C-alpha cells in the first residue's frame, strides 16, 4: 500500500511541478501582473482537499457500520494543527517569493535557480531530521551550487524585453530565497510527522496539507487586500490577451496544478523522506526546461546548458550514492540477521542435552 501511495504522490508531484510554473508564467506573459494573486493561487485550491477527506470518511463509516458514532471526520489534534498552521504561513511567504521570481524570469531560468533547493533541503534535513550525508551527496551539493553561480553571472542574457536590470536581479534573488525557504519547509514537514505524538496516516497527511494551504492562502489574502488585487481582477480579465473566459480558466488550472504539487510533495515525505521529495523535484528539471522551450520558445543559451549539465551530474551523483548506500545497508542488515540466527542456533545446541 505504501509503495502504491508513493507512486501516486510521485505522479501528483510530477504533474504539479511541471504544470504549475508553466501556467503561472502563461498568466504573466499574456497580460497578468498581480504577484499576490499568483501566490494566492499556489495554495488557493485547498478546499478541493475536502473531497478525498469526505470520501475517506464515508468509506470508514461504512466499514465501521452506518450506526457507528465513533468514526471521526478529522484526526488532527491541536498540537499538530498549530504546527501545520505555522508551516502554512511560511509556505505563504514562499509562495510570494516564488511568484515574484516567475513574474520577472523565464520559466527555464527560474527552474534552474529553483534547482538549488535540493542543496538547502539536504542541509536542513541534516539539521532537523539528522539526514546522513555521503561523499556523493556532498558532490551533488557542490555541483548544484556551481551551476547556480554560472547562471547568476549571466542573468542578463535572457532578460525579458523592457525589464530593467534591477527588476531582473530582484527576480533572481527572490527565486533563490524561495528555494532556501522551501528547502527549509520540506524537512520541517518531515520533522512535524515525527514529532506529532499521534499516528500519521495518509488521511492525516491530507488534513495537514489542507491546514497548511489554508493558512498559506490566508497569508496571501492579506497581501491581496493591501494590494487591491480583488478589485483589479475583473478589469485584468477583460484586458487579458487570451480573452476573459480563458483568464479564469488559467487561474483555476493554476490552483489545481499547485494543489497537486503540494499534496504530492507532502505525500512523498510521508512515504519516503523530505530529501527524496527534493530529489524528485530536482529530477524534473530537464522536463520543465524542455516544456518551457517548446511552449514559450524561451532562449536556451550556453550558460543554461552548462548549468543543466552540472545539475544533472549532481543528480546522477546523488542517486548513485543512494543506490550504493542502500546496497551496503542491506548487506549489513543481512549479515546482522545471519549472525543473530547463528547465535540463536548455537544457544539452542548448547541447551540441548
What 3 state SS string does the chain have? CHHHHHHHHHHHHHHHHHHHHHHHHHHHHCCCCCHHHHHHHHHCCHHHHHHHHHHHHHHHHHHHCCCCCCCCCCCCCHHHHHHHHHHHHHHHHHHHHHHHHHHHCCHHHHHHHHCCHHHHHHHHHHHHHCCCCCHHHHHHHHHHHHHHHHHHCCHHHHCCCCCCHHHHHHHHHHHHHHHHHHHHHHHHHHHHHHCCCCCCCHHHHHHHHHHHHHHHHHHHHHHHHHCCHHHHHHHHHHHCCCCHHHHHHHHHHHHHHHHHHHHHHHHHHHHCCHHHHHHHHHHCHHHHHHHHHHHHCCCCCHHHHHHHHHHHHHHHHHHHHHHHHHHHHHHHHHHHHHHHHHHHHHHHHHHCC
Look at 136 and 232; give whichever has higher pLDDT: 232
pLDDT band for position 115 (cuts 50, 70, 90): confident
Q: Which of 174, 204, 173 is nearest to 189 (CA)?
A: 204
Condensed to tens digits (0 to 9), the pLDDT of residues 28-37 reads: 999 999 999 9
- Please tell me whether the overall predicted TM-score, pTM, comes out greater than 0.75 for this model: yes
- At 11, the pLDDT band (50, 70, 90 cuts) reads very high
pLDDT score for 37: 96
Residue 339 dihedral angles phi and psi, to the nearest 5°? -60, -40
pLDDT for 63 beyond 90: no
Stretch among 197-201, 216-220, 321-325 having the lowest mean pLDDT: 321-325
Query: What is the average pLDDT value for the chain, to the nearest integer?
Result: 85
Cβ contacts of residue 222 below 8 Å, gap of 6+?
none
- Mean of pLDDT values over 258-269: 94
Specify the higher pLDDT residue, 337 or 68.
337
| Residue located via cell numbers 545446541 | 349
pLDDT at 190 over 90: yes
Q: Decide if pLDDT at 208 tops 60.
A: yes
Three cell numbers, residue 106: 523565464
Of the ranges 13-22, 108-117, 266-275, which one carries the lowest mean pLDDT score? 108-117
Q: Mind listing the pLDDT tens digit for each residue in 121-180?
A: 888 988 898 877 777 777 877 777 677 667 666 555 556 565 567 787 888 899 999 999
> Who has greater pLDDT, 343 or 227?
227
In 3D space, the residue among 278, 247, 206, 158 whose CA is nearest the CA of residue 5 turns out to be: 206
* Separation between Cα atoms, residue 72 and residue 245, nearest integer Å: 40
Domain range list for the chain: 2-63+76-132+155-281
The fraction of the chain above a pLDDT of 70, given in percent, is 87
Amino acid at each position: 500500500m505504501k509503495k502504491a501511495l508513493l507512486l501516486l504522490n510521485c505522479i501528483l508531484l510530477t504533474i504539479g511541478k511541471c504544470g504549475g510554473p508553466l501556467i503561472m508564467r502563461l498568466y504573466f506573459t499574456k497580460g497578468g501582473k498581480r504577484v499576490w494573486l499568483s501566490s494566492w493561487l499556489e495554495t488557493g485550491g485547498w478546499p478541493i482537499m475536502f473531497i478525498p477527506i469526505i470520501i475517506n470518511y464515508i468509506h470508514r463509516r461504512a466499514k465501521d457500520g452506518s450506526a457507528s458514532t465513533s468514526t471521526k471526520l478529522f484526526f488532527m489534534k491541536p498540537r499538530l494543527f498549530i504546527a501545520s498552521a505555522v508551516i502554512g504561513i511560511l509556505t505563504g511567504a514562499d509562495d510570494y517569493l516564488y511568484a515574484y521570481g516567475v513574474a520577472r524570469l523565464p520559466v527555464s531560468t527560474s527552474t534552474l535557480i529553483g534547482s538549488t533547493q535540493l542543496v538547502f533541503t539536504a542541509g536542513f534535513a541534516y539539521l532537523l531530521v539528522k539526514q546522513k550525508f555521503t561523499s556523493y551527496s556532498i558532490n551533488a551539493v557542490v555541483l548544484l551550487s556551481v551551476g547556480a553561480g554560472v547562471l547568476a553571472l549571466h542573468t542578463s542574457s535572457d532578460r525579458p524585453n523592457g525589464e530593467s536590470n534591477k527588476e531582473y536581479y530582484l527576480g533572481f534573488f527572490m527565486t533563490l530565497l524561495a528555494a532556501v525557504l522551501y528547502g527549509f519547509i520540506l524537512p520541517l514537514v518531515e520533522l512535524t510527522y515525527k514529532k506529532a505524538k499521534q499516528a500519521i496516516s495518509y488521511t492525516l497527511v491530507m488534513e495537514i496539507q489542507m491546514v497548511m494551504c489554508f493558512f498559506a492562502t490566508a497569508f496571501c489574502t492579506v497581501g491581496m487586500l493591501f494590494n487591491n488585487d480583488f478589485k483589479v481582477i475583473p478589469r485584468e480579465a477583460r484586458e487579458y490577451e487570451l480573452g476573459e473566459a480563458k483568464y479564469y480558466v488559467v487561474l483555476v488550472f493554476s490552483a489545481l496544478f499547485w494543489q497537486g504539487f503540494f499534496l504530492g510533495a507532502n505525500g512523498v515525505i510521508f512515504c519516503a523522506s523530505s530529501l527524496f521529495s527534493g530529489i524528485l523535484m530536482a529530477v524534473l528539471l530537464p522536463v520543465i526546461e524542455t516544456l518551457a522551450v517548446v511552449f514559450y520558445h524561451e532562449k536556451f543559451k550556453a550558460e543554461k546548458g552548462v548549468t543543466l549539465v552540472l545539475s544533472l551530474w549532481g543528480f546522477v551523483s546523488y542517486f548513485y550514492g543512494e543506490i550504493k548506500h542502500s546496497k551496503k545497508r542491506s548487506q549489513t542488515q543481512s549479515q546482522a540477521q545471519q549472525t543473530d540466527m547463528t547465535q540463536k542456533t548455537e544457544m539452542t545446541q548448547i541447551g540441548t542435552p
